[in-house]
Amino acid sequence: MKNLIKITFLSLIFAFSINNVTAQKKMSKNIQPPVAKIVPKKLEKHGDVRIDNYYWLNQREDKEVIDYLNAENKYYEQMTAHTKDFQKLLFEEMKSRIKEDDQSVPYLYNGYWYITRYEKGQDYPVYSRKKGSLEAPEEIMFNCNEMAKGLSYFQLGGVSVSPNNKFATFGVDKVSRRIYTIQVKNLETGEILSDKIENCTGGSVWANDNQTIFYTTKDPVTLRSNKIFKHKLGTDSKDDVLVFEEKDETFSVFIYKEKSKKYLVIGSQSTMTTEYQILNADTPDADFKVFQKRTRGLEYNISHFGDSFYVLTNTDQATNFKLMKTPETATEKENWKDVIAHRDNVLLEDIEIFKDYLVVEERENGLTKLRIMPWSGVGEYYLPFDSETYTAYTSTNVDFDTTVLRYGYQSLKTPSSIIDFDMKNQTKEVKKEQEVLGGKFNKDNYEEKRVWATAKDGTKVPISMVYRKGIQLNGKNPLLQYAYGSYGYSMDCTFSSTRLSLLDRGFIFAIAHIRGGEDLGRPWYENGKLLNKKNTFTDFIDCSKFLIENKYTSPKHLYAEGGSAGGLLMGTVINLAPELYNGVIAAVPFVDVVTTMLDDSIPLTTGEYDEWGNPNDKEYYDYMKSYSPYDNVEAKAYPNMLVTTGLHDSQVQYWEPAKWVAKLRAVKTDKNVLFLDTNMDTGHGGASGRFEALKEIAKEFSFLLDLEGIKK
């Protein structure tokens, strides 16, 4: 009898829950979306006139703007009220897979073991160290949970310990505009010194005297990192000395110390040109010397070892880069000598220098490789990797005099591992493998594969996929297609424990390695930028068509996602081929290309000219306008859409997605959902706490799963 009562009671609860969701869905049909007012703004360039009805939304402090964003948020909350319980379930599910009291693999630097760890139930990391031995008492350097109390956003950055291990500089961002305040902590006493430096990138570098700090500041309007200052410990930052100012608005500037600890290096960088200046770290008051003066199109990176610098560069038409060497006393290009020649089919990405070995990160046929090269010239080899959907990379290697290389490995179905590899004995020790808690995960339950789609111009484009074993290729599988496709940023195949919440509900996850990234070498990037940018968009569409034609999915079940420049991709794709997708997630999307690139007061604009082109040139203006998502919104049907942004975004200003959504609402002809979700407390990277970030992912997943009719 008790069991019968219990069953009846549970049935009533279940029925109430179902009826409640049904009622909420019915109510949502009567909820009207906010309508942004129309205030026509005439924009004219090269004799071409554009009318922007929503230009007024770019006033961040205007009450009417804030009211509109809040109204959009309210509409989104009301329309998705029926998914709230599901969001909570997804959040708890994703959280349950995470080892909450996790910690990094310790590494030894200058006599101390450094560890980053998380405590159970806490959002933020604890940075600590142990002197000489892992059995030594723990010294807590920074407990970010304490530092973040009372803040809606917190980010610690640029922790740098002085050579004598006594002091640490650190940067704090409390707004998510990527503008940091640098302070100094006495690690022996715990005291925060009076030194306080505002408007910085967050990072700083110590000279070898333990008294001099070099740091980078930002232009207060454009947020371009443009100045290097020198600060003496204990002095007022108003008296800091300007060491270098980067006056070319297409360049940003930064400073670091070489692994050898001998040189401080100032770098100036644009999309396609670099320049470095060097200074002996023992003489911080001397002048920096230009390593090789900037030449448009010349890119190079430098690494010091012994009495030489190793130069990774594209000089001499080395499109995929080559490695050269030059004496530290003669650094100009005419002194550079080849170490590793250029290869047409292999991209040279990075190097790691040790006393007896050179480790080279290469990319061939879209796959990363680690090449071990003894300085003796005898016994060169590659680390063996079997999968076609993996990524491998050098990890934290701060010690010269060691035979141990620390590297990372993961694949779409294999959790990330940190591995210590003895380059002499060719033996390895897995120091840590990411734990997926809950007892349900087994990588053998999933299949990963790489396939190749054919683009409209005949180019073969790789697609990496992962899904649960046993699915049938009948066109009924929900599939999330992801891509970025800009800045030469390669989309490596990484593992995600949160993604399991989609895979275990029948989703296929696919990465389209489209042009604009550097997945297949530098030409892959060159063929997806400037006046070749449209290849990025058509590659993505052609990948979608391939997945549909080969029955991995269908337009009723295909979803697309991209963020930032990947959000531009989403905006363009749905203008070109909206019929291919049931739903699209555009995160912090760069969608108002022409207006933004014409406004040199907006952060990053001038530095982007080599990526997108300068619209002050009519040829680039016309080309940008032909694909800019905002400028090409039409009166037609669009997919279901979730658009996200942050009020304090420094990379893509919030008003771009806000204007885009307002325009879409006004002209689209379908009845599909369109949501704008603005985080009023954060910027480009979203929430700062690890659990708050999971809530944002749960929102995205519930959007996709709800469209598929999946409720649990």
Which residues have a catalytic role annotated? 564, 649, 684
Q: How far apart are CA 194 and CA 235, in angstroms?
A: 8
Which amino acid is residue 363, in one-letter code?
Answer: R
Tokens of 225: 């990192």
- Residue pair 397/364 in contact (Cβ under 8 Å)? The answer is no
User: Which residues have CB under 8 Å from 205's CB, separation 6+?
Assistant: 160, 213, 214, 215, 255, 256, 257, 264
Strand order in the sheet with 300-305: 300-305, 308-313, 322-327, 337-340
Look up residue 239 and give its DSSP letter: G
**Type and span of the H or E element at 61:** none
Q: How far apart are CA 665 and CA 658, in angstroms?
A: 11
Cα–Cα–Cα angle for 94, 97, 101, nearest 5°?
Answer: 115
User: Which residues have CB under 8 Å from 185's CB, separation 6+?
Assistant: 141, 142, 167, 168, 169, 170, 191, 192, 193
For 365-517, strand residue ranges (E) read 367-374, 381-382, 390-394, 404-411, 417-422, 427-433, 446-454, 460-468, 479-482, 508-512
Chain-centroid distance of CA 205 in Å reads 24
- Number of neighbouring beta carbons within 10 Å of residue 477: 20
The CA-atom distances, in angstroms, between 290 and each of 244, 330, 332, 685 are 12, 11, 9, 34
Q: CA nearest 96: which of 384, 427, 436, 339?
A: 436
- Residue pair 291/309 in contact (Cβ under 8 Å)? The answer is yes
User: Which residues have CB under 8 Å from 371's CB, separation 6+?
Assistant: 359, 360, 361, 362, 380, 381, 382
Which amino acid is residue 84, in one-letter code?
Answer: K
Beta strands 300-305; 508-512: pairing state: unpaired
Q: How far apart are CA 141 and CA 164, in angstroms?
A: 15
Residue 656: φ, ψ to 5°:
-65, -60
* 3 state SS of 57: helix
- Residue pair 528/561 in contact (Cβ under 8 Å)? The answer is no
Q: How far apart are CA 445 and CA 219, in angstroms?
A: 51
Q: How far apart are CA 217 and CA 197, in angstroms?
A: 9
